[in-house]
């Protein structure tokens, strides 16, 4: 059963990342217009920490993996089916937008040799960067579509969790604790980095702890620990801490991008997910339909938005030039030029970026993502007939990148 409350949180997480990157686009537009000294980025405040949507995504991922496998016993065929479902869910949509970004670089910079800065060219070849990007392997720089670094973590989560599925279900809690202990020890020993460049750094990334927190929330729900006022308390406390952390946490630096984000955003995220899922399990649904639907599109929204808002920023000034040439007064044309004086250009940029990203996400979901889900589910039923009722994975969201 798809939990509408979890879908809502996926939608919220995706919007947080969209707003975070819109703030980045605003800041770049202001920097490109040095004559504008009377206005700053309108979308500031809590949005500077909108990267926390990634942390919420990771916690949701752990929750969903436990929730959708709660009826499984961990047989080899079931593990294969689990990995089939995750691989076919993540890679095709990723390849679509990674290719779109690669083409964007070709069109913008004139060819594959300009995919990276000179610094990155010294780290790895263009060919290996593309291979690692498409396969979501750890590498010393961001994938061709920078947001893909979160999917590198996602696929790592899934393969480790698939190994744990081979254990009896009663062993899952201690196995998760062993995983958490190993990750913590390695991270504290300095065996990881902000962008894991190899499998060891990926394994010891503290971000795995967010997945594990979500997994424990999923265990609580699968065992129906939902009685009394506990879900309400967890939901209220988690939401309050999460919002306060968005507003009060300093601008991210090295600590916040490795350990800090896990400590600040992981636990309240797990409390919110547990509280909402527990209340829905008791028949109380707190998810508005619009946000639940946005959750269905959240993977496409996450993957498309940076490319979309970058294109919006480039298109708006061109449109302003054409309109001014056709007789529109300059002060009105400036409303479409990000970085102009005042706040109205900022507001228009933010609204158009959000609307464009959501429209592209909806179209992608309807025309590409949902048909693919149906296609691969059909093959899953053919390949894993004996396990047809054991794994019914809900759509896996995406993740975000700061």
Phi-psi region of 45 (alpha: psi -120 to 50; beta: other; left: phi over 0): left
DSSP character at residue 283: T
pLDDT confidence of residue 31: 66
Q: Within a domain: residue 85? A: yes
Q: How confident is the model at residue 2 (pLDDT cuts 50, 70, 90)?
A: confident
Q: Which of 36-40, 207-211, 240-244, 297-301 has the lowest mean pLDDT?
A: 36-40
Q: Are 83 and 65 in contact (CB under 8 A)?
A: no
pLDDT confidence of residue 314: 87
- Estimate the crossing angle of helix 52-68 against helix 261-281, to 10 degrees: 40
Helix, strand, coil percent values for the chain (each to nearest 5): 75, 0, 25
Q: Are 249 and 256 in contact (CB under 8 A)?
A: yes
Count CB-CB contacts under 10 A for residue 10. Answer: 31
pLDDT tens for 81-140 read 899 999 999 999 999 999 998 888 887 776 554 455 444 444 667 788 889 999 999 998
Q: Does residue 169 register a pLDDT over 50?
A: yes
pLDDT confidence of residue 75: 47
Q: Which of 44-58, 85-99, 275-289, 367-381 has the lowest mean pLDDT?
A: 44-58
Dist. CA 260–CA 267, nearest whole Å: 12
Q: Are 277 and 5 in contact (CB under 8 A)?
A: yes
Q: Within a domain: residue 399? A: no
Is the C-alpha dihedral spanning 276, 280, 282, 284 positive or negative?
Answer: positive
What share of the chain in percent tops pLDDT 70? 86
Q: Are 92 and 395 in contact (CB under 8 A)?
A: no
Q: Does residue 206 register a pLDDT over 90?
A: yes
pLDDT tens for 336-386 read 877 777 777 778 888 999 999 999 999 999 999 999 999 999 998 888 875
Dist. CA 61–CA 63, nearest whole Å: 5
Dist. CA 209–CA 267, nearest whole Å: 10
Residues 6+ apart with CB under 8 A from 282: 226, 231
**What string of H, E and C letters represents the secondary structure of 180-230?**
HHHHHHHHHCCCCCCCCCCHHHHHCCCCHHHHHHHHHHHHHHHCCCCCCCH
204 or 125: which carries more pLDDT confidence? 204
Q: Are 333 and 320 in contact (CB under 8 A)?
A: yes
**Domain ranges, residue 285:** 4-387
Q: Does residue 167 register a pLDDT over 70?
A: yes
pLDDT tens for 110-120 read 655 445 544 44
Q: Within a domain: residue 402? A: no
Dist. CA 87–CA 77, nearest whole Å: 15
Q: Does residue 38 register a pLDDT over 80?
A: no
Strongest mean pLDDT among 143-147, 182-186, 243-247: 182-186
What is the chain's Cα-based Rg?
22
Average pLDDT, the chain: 85
Count CB-CB contacts under 10 A for residue 173. Answer: 12
Dist. CA 298–CA 255, nearest whole Å: 28
What share of the chain in percent tops pLDDT 90? 53
| Residue carrying the six token digits 């929730």 | 67
87 phi, psi to nearest 5 deg: -65, -45
Q: Does residue 401 register a pLDDT over 60?
A: no
pLDDT confidence of residue 35: 54
Q: Count how many domains the chain has.
A: 1
* Rounded average pLDDT over 157-165: 94
Q: Within a domain: residue 123? A: yes
pLDDT confidence of residue 102: 87
Q: Are 311 and 277 in contact (CB under 8 A)?
A: no
Dist. CA 28–CA 13, nearest whole Å: 23
Torsion of CA 371, 374, 376, 378, to 10 degrees: -140
pTM: 0.90
The angle formed by the CA atoms of residues 230, 233 and 235, to the nearest 5 degrees, is 105
Q: Does residue 39 register a pLDDT over 90?
A: no
pLDDT confidence of residue 387: 52
Q: Within a domain: residue 265? A: yes
pLDDT tens for 233-250 read 999 999 999 999 998 888
Q: Within a domain: residue 372? A: yes
Q: How confident is the model at residue 394 (pLDDT cuts 50, 70, 90)?
A: very low
83 or 255: which carries more pLDDT confidence? 83
Burial of 327 (0-12, 13-18, 19+ CB in 10 A): exposed
Q: Within a domain: residue 73? A: yes
């Amino acid at each position: 059963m798809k939990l509408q409350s979890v879908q809502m949180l996926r939608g919220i997480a995706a919007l947080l990342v969209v707003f975070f990157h819109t703030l980045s686009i605003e800041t770049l537009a202001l920097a490109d217009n040095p004559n504008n000294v009377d206005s700053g980025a309108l979308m500031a405040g809590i949005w500077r920490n909108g990267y926390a949507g990634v942390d919420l995504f990771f916690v949701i991922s752990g929750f969903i993996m436990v929730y959708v496998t709660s009826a499984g016993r961990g047989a080899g065929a079931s593990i294969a089916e689990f990995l089939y479902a995750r691989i076919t869910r993540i890679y095709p949509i990723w390849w679509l937008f990674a290719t779109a970004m690669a083409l964007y670089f070709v069109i913008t910079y004139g060819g594959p040799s300009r995919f990276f800065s000179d610094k990155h060219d010294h780290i790895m070849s263009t060919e290996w960067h593309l291979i690692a990007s498409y396969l979501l392997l750890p590498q010393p720089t961001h994938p061709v579509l920078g947001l893909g670094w979160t999917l590198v973590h996602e696929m790592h989560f899934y393969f480790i969790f698939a190994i744990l599925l081979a254990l009896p279900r009663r062993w899952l809690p201690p196995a998760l604790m062993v995983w958490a202990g190993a990750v913590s020890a390695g991270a504290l020993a300095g065996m990881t980095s902000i962008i894991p460049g190899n499998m060891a750094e990926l394994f010891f990334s503290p971000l795995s702890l967010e997945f594990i927190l979500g997994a424990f929330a999923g265990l609580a729900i699968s065992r129906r620990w939902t009685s009394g006022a506990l879900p309400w308390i967890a939901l209220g406390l988690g939401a309050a801490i999460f919002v306060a952390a968005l507003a009060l946490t300093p601008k991210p630096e090295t600590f916040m991008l490795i350990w800090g984000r896990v400590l600040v955003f992981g636990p309240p995220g797990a409390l919110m997910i547990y509280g909402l899922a527990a209340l829905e399990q008791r028949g109380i649904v707190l998810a508005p339909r619009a946000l639940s639907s946005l959750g269905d599109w959240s993977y496409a929204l996450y993957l498309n938005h940076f490319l979309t808002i970058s294109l919006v920023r480039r298109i708006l000034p061109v449109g302003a030039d054409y309109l001014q040439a056709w007789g529109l007064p300059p002060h009105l044309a400036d409303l479409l030029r990000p970085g102009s004086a005042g706040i109205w250009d900022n507001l228009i940029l933010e609204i158009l970026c959000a609307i464009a990203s959501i429209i592209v996400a909806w179209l992608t979901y309807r025309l590409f993502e949902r048909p693919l889900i149906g296609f691969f589910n059909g093959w899953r039923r053919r390949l894993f007939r004996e396990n047809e009722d054991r794994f019914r994975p809900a759509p896996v969201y995406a993740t975000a990148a700061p």
